[in-house]
Amino acid sequence: MTFQDRVFSGMQPTGTLHLGNYLGAMVQWIEMQKSHECIYCVVDLHAITVWQDPAELKTSIRQVTAAYIASGLDPKRSIVFNQSQVPEHAELAWIFNCVARLGWLNRMTQFKEKAGKDREAASVGLYAYPNLMAADILAYRATHVPVGDDQKQHLELARDIAQKFNSDFRSSIEQKGYADGVFFPQPEPVITGPATRVMSLRDGTKKMSKSEPSDMSRINLMDDTDTIADKIKRAKTDMEPAPPATLDDLRARPEIDNLVGIYAALAGVTKEDGLSLLASTAGEGPSIFTGFKRALTEVAVEKLGPIRSEIVRLMADPAEIDRVLADGARRARAIATPVMDEVKDIVGFIRG
């Protein structure tokens, strides 16, 4: 069968969003809503796979919703909601727990990273996390999933689950009138933002992340101008006597590469343009990077400043955010409920 194009993606409400979330995913989400039917979720069920303080979780859900809207998502055009308000996610996830194999989940690198050394102490939810993510996408039979580079492996798992469900239940699916035996599509990863992997400002080999203890490692969407300036000023560079001259030189210098990548993405220019700027500003300050960092700060403040003020404005009216989420959840359910009804039939459950 051919599937109608439909976009689904989500972010976890754990603390505030950072530049990696914005450049790696959000910019693409905003672009796609111009041409596609889009569903954007605040994945609170995923958040509790590690401990969340209940009061902070509520605030984070609202703040991430506000960040979506402040960055340019239009909740009238796209569906914006929090995952726990649509029970079909958890229902389908259970069925996928019974489709996915232990061996598949054992390969997931994110679980290994997040569980750390004491794997026995990790929650079962953290382990089953990718099955819930597959359910998020497939409850809407979504075809396109814009994410950052780190989600590639989870997306491959979602494709494997879709395929195994289709083949395990092939005859039941055909009996329902799907002549080719295909009920779930193979969701396609869309990993094409301006910077699909933004690295830490303190270590060019680690990705920028909410869970990194040092706040100096990332630029948050809620950082004020002085904080952004300070973080960029103190961002790690290197001791080479001259700036990189070519893209090959740049690749060998991860910290500079990251800063040039961030500059290019924020300014909407190419990395080559970033290299020219490095060359033309190298004589400006105590370090060869002082002038470049000044320009980077300017463009970061220009782009992120208005987003921050809009988040603050929206957060002043939490009831309005809750209304947006409730409206989104209602529209999301209108799509997910009939899909889930069919899944129940396919699996062999009796519905009243």
What residues numbered 95-154 form the site for ligand TRP, per CB under 6 A?
133, 136-137, 145, 147, 151, 154
Catalytic residue list contains 152:
no
DSSP-based three-state secondary structure for 11:
strand
Catalytic residue list contains 76:
no
What residues numbered 107-136 form the site for ligand AMP, per CB under 6 A?
none
Nearer to ligand AMP, 20 or 243 (CB): 20
Nearer to ligand AMP, 96 or 129 (CB): 129
**162 lies in the binding site for ligand TRP (CB under 6 A):** no
CA angle 76, 81, 85 (to 5 degrees): 135
**148 lies in the binding site for ligand AMP (CB under 6 A):** yes
Task: For 194-237, give the DSSP string.
Answer: S-SSPBPSS-TTSB--TT-S-GGG--BTT--HHHHHHHHHTS--
The DSSP output letter for 53 is -
Q: How far is the CB of 8 from ligand TRP (least distance, A)?
A: 6
Q: How far is the CB of 65 from ligand AMP (least distance, A)?
A: 13
Q: How far is the CB of 58 from ligand TRP (least distance, A)?
A: 19
**9 lies in the binding site for ligand TRP (CB under 6 A):** yes
**12 lies in the binding site for ligand TRP (CB under 6 A):** yes
Q: Give residue 350's identity as a one-letter amino acid code.
A: I
Contacts by residues 1-4 (CB-CB < 8 Å, ≥ 24 positions apart): 1/178, 1/180, 1/182, 3/141, 3/143, 3/185, 4/37, 4/143
Q: What residues are paired with 249 via a beta bridge?
A: none
Nearer to ligand TRP, 14 or 258 (CB): 14
Single out the residue of 164, 197, 303, 344 in contact with ligand AMP (rule: CB under 6 A).
Answer: 197
Catalytic, out of 58, 210, 236, 271:
210
Single out the residue of 151, 166, 258, 281 in contact with ligand AMP (rule: CB under 6 A).
Answer: 151
Nearer to ligand TRP, 113 or 320 (CB): 113
**20 lies in the binding site for ligand AMP (CB under 6 A):** yes
Nearer to ligand AMP, 128 or 173 (CB): 128
User: 243 near 278, Cβ under 8 Å?
Assistant: yes
- For residue 194, the partner it binds in ligand TRP, ligand AMP, none, with Cβ less than 5 to 8 A by kind, is none
**Gap between the Cα atoms of 17 and 147, Å rounded:** 14
Catalytic, out of 58, 114, 271, 344:
114
**Gap between the Cα atoms of 69 and 74, Å rounded:** 6
Single out the residue of 32, 48, 61, 208 in contact with ligand AMP (rule: CB under 6 A).
Answer: 208
**Gap between the Cα atoms of 302 and 166, Å rounded:** 48
Q: How far is the CB of 72 from ligand AMP (least distance, A)?
A: 15
Question: Which residue from 270, 260, 269, 268 is spatially nearest to 292, judged by alpha carbons?
Answer: 260
- For residue 133, the partner it binds in ligand AMP, ligand TRP, none, with Cβ less than 5 to 8 A by kind, is ligand TRP
Q: How far is the CB of 197 from ligand AMP (least distance, A)?
A: 5
The DSSP output letter for 99 is T
The DSSP output letter for 83 is G
**28 lies in the binding site for ligand AMP (CB under 6 A):** no
Tokens of 84: 């726990």
Q: What are the residues whose beta carbons fall under 8 Å from the beta carbon of 339, sequence distance 6 or more?
A: 88, 138, 139, 140, 141
Catalytic residue list contains 58:
no
**Residues 62-98: b if buried by 16+ CB within 10 A, e if exposed:** bbbbbbbbbbebebeebbbbbbbbbebbebbbebbee
Q: How far is the CB of 26 from ligand AMP (least distance, A)?
A: 8
**25 lies in the binding site for ligand AMP (CB under 6 A):** yes
Catalytic residue numbers, as ranges: 114, 207, 210
